[in-house]
Structure 1
Amino acid sequence: MRQTWRWFGPRDVATIDDMLQSGVEGVVSALHHVPPGAVWTPEAIAERQGAIGRRRDGSPSGLAWEVVESLPVSEDVKLQSGDWRAHVAAWSQSLEHLAEAGLRVVCYNFMPVLDWTRTELHHRLPHGGTCLRFDWTDFAMFDLHVLERRGAAQDYPDAVREAALARHAATTDEERRAIADAVTAGLPGDAETVTLETVRAQLERYAAVTPERLRANLVAFLEMVVPVAERLGMRLCCHPDDPPFPLLGLPRVLSTEADFRSVLEAVDSPANGMTLCSGSLGARPDNDVPGIMRRLGARVHFLHLRNVRRETGDVRGSFFESDHLDGDVDMIALVAAILAEEAARRAAGRADAQIPMRPDHGQDILTDIGRGAQPGYPVVGRMRGLAELRGVMRALERAGGLAHA
Structure 2
Amino acid sequence: MEYLKKTFRWFGPSFGVALEDIKQVGVDGIVAACQEVPLGDVWPIETITSLKNEIDSHGMEWSVVESVNIHTSIKYGLPDRDRYISNYIQTLKNLAANDIKVVCYNFMQLIDWTRTNLDFRLPNGASALKYDPIAATAFDLFILKRENAEESYSPEIIEQATTYFENLNEEGKDTLEKSILAGMPGSRKLISMDEFKRNHATVLAISKEKLQDNLAYFLKAIIPEAEKLGVKMAIHPDDPPFSVFGVPRIASNYEELKFILDACPSPSNGLTFCSGSLGASKENDLVKIIEDFGENIHFVHLRNVQWTEDGSFYEADHLNGSLPMPKIMKALIQEQKNRKESKGGIINIPMRPDHGHVLLDDKKRQAEFYSGYSMVGRALGLAQLIGLEKGIRLGMNL
Whether these two folds match at TM > 0.5 is yes
User: How far apart are residue 82 of structure 1 and its match?
Assistant: 4.2
What residue number does 1:48 align with? Answer: 51
Does residue 29 of structure 1 match 2:35?
A: no
1:5-404 equivalence runs, <5 A: 5-54=8-57, 61-312=58-309, 317-371=311-365, 372=367, 373-400=369-396
User: How far apart are residue 251 of structure 1 and its match?
Assistant: 1.7
Q: Name the SS for the 1:131 alignment partner.
A: strand
Give 1:187's aligned amino acid.
M
Q: Deviations over 1:174-212 (max 9, x none)?
A: 111111111011311123100111111011112221111
Give 1:171's aligned amino acid.
L
Q: Deviations over 1:213-263 (max 9, x none)?
A: 101110110000001100000100100000000011112101101110111
Give 1:347's aligned amino acid.
E
**Does the CA contact (< 8 Å) of 1:119 and 1:179 recur in 2?**
yes
- Dislocated runs of 4+, deviation >3 Å: none
**Does the CA contact (< 8 Å) of 2:182 and 2:188 recur in 1?**
no
Q: Name the SS for the 1:369 alignment partner.
A: helix
State the distance in 2 between where 1:269 and 1:110 align: 19
Q: Name the SS for the 1:174 alignment partner.
A: helix
Does residue 3 of structure 1 match 2:6?
A: yes
State the distance in 1 between where 2:108 and 2:309 align: 24
Give 2:157's aligned amino acid.
V
**Does the CA contact (< 8 Å) of 2:272 and 2:301 recur in 1?**
yes
State the distance in 2 between where 1:187 and 1:226 align: 25
Give 2:313's aligned amino acid.
F
With 188-197 and 68-77 compared, the bigger mean Cα shift is at 188-197
State the distance in 1 between where 2:271 and 2:282 align: 20
State the distance in 1 between where 2:326 and 2:100 align: 30
**Does the CA contact (< 8 Å) of 1:336 and 1:401 recur in 2?**
no
State the distance in 1 between where 2:313 and 2:280 align: 7
State the distance in 1 between where 2:153 and 2:185 align: 27
With 289-298 and 332-341 compared, the bigger mean Cα shift is at 289-298
User: How far apart are residue 122 of structure 1 and its match?
Assistant: 1.1
User: How far apart are residue 370 of structure 1 and its match?
Assistant: 3.4
State the distance in 2 between where 1:351 and 1:248 align: 38
State the distance in 2 between where 1:281 and 1:140 align: 21
State the distance in 2 between where 1:160 and 1:197 align: 26
State the distance in 1 between where 2:52 and 2:153 align: 47
Q: Deviations over 1:127-175 (max 9, x none)?
A: 0010000111111111100111112111111111111110111001111
**Does the CA contact (< 8 Å) of 1:273 and 1:299 recur in 2?**
yes
User: How far apart are residue 121 of structure 1 and its match?
Assistant: 0.9
**Does the CA contact (< 8 Å) of 1:10 and 1:51 recur in 2?**
no
TM-score (norm 1): 0.95
**Does the CA contact (< 8 Å) of 2:115 and 2:129 recur in 1?**
yes
Uncovered stretches (5+) of structure 2, i.e. residues with no partner = none
Q: Name the SS for the 1:370 alignment partner.
A: helix
Uncovered stretches (5+) of structure 1, i.e. residues with no partner = 55-60
Taking structure 1 as reference, are residues 253 and 74 closer, same or farther at Cα in structure 2, changes over 3 Å only? same
State the distance in 2 between where 1:255 and 1:231 align: 28
With 45-54 and 133-142 compared, the bigger mean Cα shift is at 45-54
Q: Deviations over 1:62-97 (max 9, x none)?
A: 101110000000111001114211111101110000
State the distance in 1 between where 2:356 and 2:297 align: 22
**Does the CA contact (< 8 Å) of 1:307 and 1:328 recur in 2?**
yes
**Does the CA contact (< 8 Å) of 1:75 and 1:113 recur in 2?**
no
State the distance in 2 between where 1:302 and 1:401 align: 24
What residue number does 1:58 align with? Answer: none
State the distance in 2 between where 1:384 and 1:311 align: 24
User: How far apart are residue 401 of structure 1 and its match?
Assistant: 6.6
Give 1:53's aligned amino acid.
D
State the distance in 1 between where 2:293 and 2:330 align: 14
User: How far apart are residue 351 of structure 1 and its match?
Assistant: 4.8
Q: How many residues align?
A: 393
Identity of matched residues, %: 38
Q: Name the SS for the 1:357 alignment partner.
A: strand
State the distance in 1 between where 2:204 and 2:115 align: 22
